[in-house]
Structure 1
Amino acid sequence: MADTQRPRHILSLSGGKDSAALAIYMRDRVPDMEYIFSDTRKELPETYQYLERIEDYLGKRVHRLNAELGFDHWYEVYGGMIPSNHRRWCTKMLKLKPFEQFVGDEPVLNYVGLRADEDRSGYISHKANITPVYPFKDDGLKLLDIQDILMSSGVGMPPYTDWGRTRSGCYFCFYQQKIEWVRLKDAHPALFEEAKKYERPYEASGNVFTWTSGESLAELEKPERVQRIRDEHEKRKQQAIVRGANLTLEQVFAGTAEEDDVEGGDACAICTI
């Protein structure tokens, strides 16, 4: 019989740089670490490629959750209602619940890749048997340290950053900046078209929900709108560079969001760390 008093060590990978760097950082420190990834089945192709690269380095398989159920299942359960900042059923049903079901009632140490230079929360569970651990915060590691871990290991940065995506998550994540939607259309036009198909009338009310605030993807992709988004982003990026002494590298790269650029707030930490 297993010793139920000995905690399991679990590290959740999002496909982002911080959790990837944490997996590398902890590989030799906790040999019995379990690595998991909650697969929505709507991740970017580059995310799946990155997970394979991480697995090669770890020499261990990353356990995929949601093997049977993905985004489309829950999208239909919720009547075709697109998730948003105010109705984040995707985080609850595709990230939090699968993780807690995987953990069960055994004591668990959950390793989270929050950095020492961040002021936000990671995964927060109400289950008493789950204890979060923050090695980067405890050891004082910041963004440059994480980048060094990734580059020196050979794993590198997530490949979606090559075309301007700033974080992991579903390809149609509603937390994307509008410039990222433009870049998605450039890099993966077929995925952009798939995202458009979800913008249909919600059967309960007839209202049409859109991925971005106050604008459908059909409107966003019009050439004149695309050019305006590109121009505004470049302007914000240059302004961010001028203020660079007070910004992280990520903020300089992304620029400062325009008033209607994102639906609001920070992206779900469990999806992006």
Structure 2
Amino acid sequence: MDINKKKTDQADKPVRHIIALSGGKDSSALAVYMRGKIKNVEYVFCDTGEELKETYEFIRKLQDYLCTDITWLKSERDFRYYVDLYNGVLPDARTRWCTRMLKLKPYEDFIGDDPVISYVGIRADEPHRKGYISTKPNITTVFPFVEDNIRRDDVMRILINSGLGLPQYYAWRSRSGCYMCFFQQKREWAGLLENHPDLFEKAKSYEKFDPATGERYTWIHGESLDELAHPDRITQIKLEYEKRKSREANAFKGNLKLKDIWDGDLDDSEELACTICHL
């Protein structure tokens, strides 16, 4: 193979501009914000197959707004396949195989070796988040919201002014991503139980207990979904949330416009949240 010719062929390829959408507020606002600013932009949505129906509805709504197709990417293997592959071990903050296999791999396969500028919706008020940064040399990641000092209030204004508003799941959930995301707070699991009991049961079916070894594979450390679903426990979770929300309101009452009440209740989970999943 002529290596020099291969390098020349790569250099001759046109640069692709891609915005990856999660179905969340920030990546959606970025798509609206960047509309008309870059030519031939591609929009992609990495579908794990385990998303909320509200997420799919919002992606279709966004597609109508953009008046262009959004490419739906999907892994050749589903979530159940990887659970079995990893011997029932569920993804967690240390491994995140769900992000790697169901989100990042399909995305990078879609890009291939083409030179790409990947636009990521990290905001200027999120210095703790890094977002999706590929190690592939052909992918350059940029952060328009950081460069233009776009913050949470600005994101909300972009979505409201566009007529899109927020995805419906924000009424009980703080993030986009799979319905069984291990980064969910307990009150969000409670919200899943109330809003999508069938999906709650499906998530519960992945949890395992080995009576011989005492090992438990649960989404929440130290608590199974079966235990969480007990009515007394749900009541307790809601009461704890209300107390924490009250503390947040009092702590930031002089600056509420700059403080999202959800953010104060994240238990650092937004710092750890999956990159491409929660943009």
TM-score (norm 1): 0.91
The aligned residue for residue 205 of structure 2 is 197
**Residue deviations 1:125-174 (CA, integer Å, cap 9, x gap):** 11011000111111111111111110111111111112x11100100000
- Asked if 2 retains the 8 angstrom alpha-carbon contact of 1:237 and 1:254, the reply is no
Letter in 2 for 1:111: Y
**Which of 254, 263, 273 is the equivalent residue of 1:267?**
273
The alignment partner of 2:201 has SS state of: helix
Letter in 1 for 2:53: P
- Asked if 2 retains the 8 angstrom alpha-carbon contact of 1:43 and 1:169, the reply is yes
The alignment partner of 1:252 has SS state of: coil
**Which of 152, 158, 161 is the equivalent residue of 1:143?**
152
| 1:26 CA drift (Å) | 1.2
Separation of aligned partners in 2, 1:246 and 1:181: 29
Separation of aligned partners in 2, 1:155 and 1:31: 22
> CA RMSD, aligned part only?
2.3
1:64-75 correspondence to structure 2 within 5 Å: 64-66=72-74, 68-75=76-83
**Which of 226, 238, 261 is the equivalent residue of 1:230?**
238
Matched, 1:115 2:86: no
Separation of aligned partners in 2, 1:212 and 1:107: 40
Separation of aligned partners in 2, 1:200 and 1:125: 34
**Structure 1 spans left out of the alignment, 5+ residues:** none
The aligned residue for residue 61 of structure 1 is 69
Separation of aligned partners in 1, 2:150 and 2:78: 34
The alignment partner of 1:43 has SS state of: coil
Instruction: Note closer, same or farther for the CA distance 1:93–1:218 as it changes in structure 2 (3 Å cut).
Output: same
Letter in 1 for 2:278: T
Letter in 2 for 1:22: L
TM-score (norm 2): 0.89
- Asked if 1 retains the 8 angstrom alpha-carbon contact of 2:24 and 2:176, the reply is yes
| 1:96 CA drift (Å) | 1.4
Separation of aligned partners in 1, 2:266 and 2:124: 24
Instruction: Note closer, same or farther for the CA distance 1:28–1:216 as it changes in structure 2 (3 Å cut).
Output: same
The alignment partner of 2:72 has SS state of: strand
The aligned residue for residue 6 of structure 2 is none
Separation of aligned partners in 2, 1:76 and 1:64: 25
Aligned-pair identity in percent equals 48
Matched, 1:210 2:215: no
| 1:207 CA drift (Å) | 2.5
| 1:256 CA drift (Å) | 2.8
Aligned residues: 268
| 1:214 CA drift (Å) | 0.5
The aligned residue for residue 44 of structure 1 is 52
- Asked if 1 retains the 8 angstrom alpha-carbon contact of 2:75 and 2:102, the reply is no
- Asked if 2 retains the 8 angstrom alpha-carbon contact of 1:112 and 1:133, the reply is yes
**Structure 2 spans left out of the alignment, 5+ residues:** 1-8
Matched, 1:186 2:190: no
**Which of 94, 98, 102 is the equivalent residue of 2:106?**
98
**Which of 135, 153, 169 is the equivalent residue of 2:162?**
153
| 1:251 CA drift (Å) | 4.0
| 1:252 CA drift (Å) | 1.1
Pick the structure with greater CA Rg: 2
The aligned residue for residue 12 of structure 1 is 20
- Asked if 2 retains the 8 angstrom alpha-carbon contact of 1:106 and 1:129, the reply is yes
